[in-house]
Structure 1
Amino acid sequence: MLPEEVYDVAQKKGMLHFFHANSLATSISLLKLNSLASRKHVESSGLAQTVQYTDDIDKSLGVWNDVFLDTVDIHRRASRRNNYGPILFVFDSKIILSASGVRITKTNPSKWQINTPIEQRYFTSIAELDTDWNAGNFDQMITLQTPNGAIPFDRNFLSVIIDDPATGDAPSKDYIAAEEEVSKLTNRTITRRQCTSWCKCKENYQSSWITSKMFSI
């Protein structure tokens, strides 16, 4: 599907912003590249990125060089930490117009098999997308295709939101360190995430290995 066609459907559905969450280490690499880049592009550039359990299957499924976006802030929507990471990049939805191709998944690629038919992987027509694409469906991921797997950051890159695993009101050392590192590489507004009382993220971050993995450089 053409980016312009998908963008028109997104506007019709009120999708004004898209989101990309990642670990601190991977986010720093994206900022160094000044691009929203695929995992293949980051690897080829020799920069750090946090291992994901889907890496091997993503290569087999042909999505290793795709750029992924969500239609909502998953952390806020689900009231839990985003499993992809505590650093959230916020974009104007016009970012998809910078891609050469756009596909919207029907399910998360982690649920696919090698023989999963294309029509079960992706929406295959604008009519189908217009009917069944819903903001907030976490399975329905935006995948952007470009020749080199990277979309340069420009005015469509709006801001950064950083989780804080601290249970108190004062910023934690993890948040402070993350903000310092991110601020070295961008002039975008950086916000410390403020959660509702029923958000489970603080509870989620109590496992020390999660915090270490997601906030390490």
Structure 2
Amino acid sequence: MRLDNKELFDFFKSLEIEVLYHANTTQTSITYLNQNGLLSRGAVESLGLNQTAQSSDDIDKVLDVWNDVFLDTTDLHTYFSRQNYYGPILFEFDVSLIENTEYEIWITKNNPIYWKKETPMEDRYFQSVAELRDNWKYYSRQKMMVTIRKNSSPILFESVRRVLVDDPRVTLTNENIHLFNETVKLIKENVPDGHILKGKFKTRECEYCWCRDNYLNQVGVPDLKRLFLN
């Protein structure tokens, strides 16, 4: 169910949530950079633009989330001390984004990959800000995803505070590809002078985190290419 934008904003501010997060692959992020904003996977497809395939694409269409943009209320990379599974590029949006009443905002009770087609709407989404407030501490943060429903045009980057880029410190030796350097090169090629995000890209600095070890030892070469290369 759609939540009241102002009421939701006030609730997040009371929790000292100042930022909303969206992580994605390099390829999909390049599309966002060229379009000057986030787009749902459905919108990217309808516009004939590039995006990295995801295993959930088919079920997302069945579950009616294909045209939604997903944001987290916490940086899952830091929260779990490991890489974000959705990709190495993290857009950080000021929470004031949700005050815009043009955005129809719903919040999930779990990641849609765990829904079934017959899962009722009241088990998929919080039905009011009051219900969200009453149950906030009983749900894991990664389950409560802010969704901007029925997206068809870019959610513009005016609200972006910064963009973090993972440095896995991995080189694909057979092809002599340094993943971070290639990603930075692609970003620079697609963020010219005058771009709204110029100067907002930062390399993520990790402490007490398993991301680099995971990238090196747990993520195979095909997945590394899928995440970091265009």
| TM-score > 0.5, shorter chain as reference | yes
1:25 aligns with 2:24: no
Deviation at 1:150, TM superposition (A): 3.3
Name the amino acid aligned to 1:213.
R
The correspondence for 2:206, drawn from 192, 195, 210, is 195
Q: Determine the C-alpha separation between the residues in 2 that align with 1:39 and 1:188.
A: 27
Name the amino acid aligned to 1:68.
F
Q: 1:124 to 1:188 in 2, by over 3 A?
A: farther
Larger deviation, residues 183-192 vs 45-54: 183-192
Name the amino acid aligned to 2:206.
C
1:131 aligns with 2:134: yes
Q: Determine the C-alpha separation between the residues in 1 that align with 2:62 and 2:109.
A: 18
- The normalised TM-score by structure 2 is 0.86
Q: Determine the C-alpha separation between the residues in 2 that align with 1:193 and 1:33.
A: 24
Deviation at 1:213, TM superposition (A): 1.1
- How many residue pairs get matched? 212
Structure 2: gaps (5+ residues): 172-176, 192-196
Q: Determine the C-alpha separation between the residues in 2 that align with 1:189 and 1:147.
A: 25
Name the amino acid aligned to 1:103.
W
Deviation at 1:147, TM superposition (A): 5.3
| 1:58 partner SS | helix
CA contact (8 A) 1:165 1:211 kept: no
Deviation at 1:146, TM superposition (A): 4.8
Deviations 1:4-62 (A, max 9, x none): 22111111111100100000000000111111110011111211111111111111111
Q: Determine the C-alpha separation between the residues in 2 that align with 1:83 and 1:176.
A: 20
Q: Determine the C-alpha separation between the residues in 2 that align with 1:188 and 1:136.
A: 33
Q: Determine the C-alpha separation between the residues in 1 that align with 2:104 and 2:82.
A: 31
Deviation at 1:100, TM superposition (A): 2.7
**1:1-217 paired onto structure 2 within 5 Å:** 1-98=3-100, 99-133=102-136, 137-146=141-150, 148=152, 150-154=154-158, 156-166=159-169, 173-183=178-188, 184-185=190-191, 186-196=197-207, 198-206=208-216, 207-217=220-230
CA contact (8 A) 1:71 1:136 kept: no
Deviations 1:169-188 (A, max 9, x none): xxx83212212322332314
Q: Determine the C-alpha separation between the residues in 2 that align with 1:30 and 1:94.
A: 20
Structure 1: gaps (5+ residues): none
The CA RMSD over aligned residues, in Å, is 1.9
Larger deviation, residues 128-137 vs 21-30: 128-137
CA contact (8 A) 1:66 1:143 kept: yes
CA contact (8 A) 2:18 2:95 kept: yes
Name the amino acid aligned to 2:128.
S
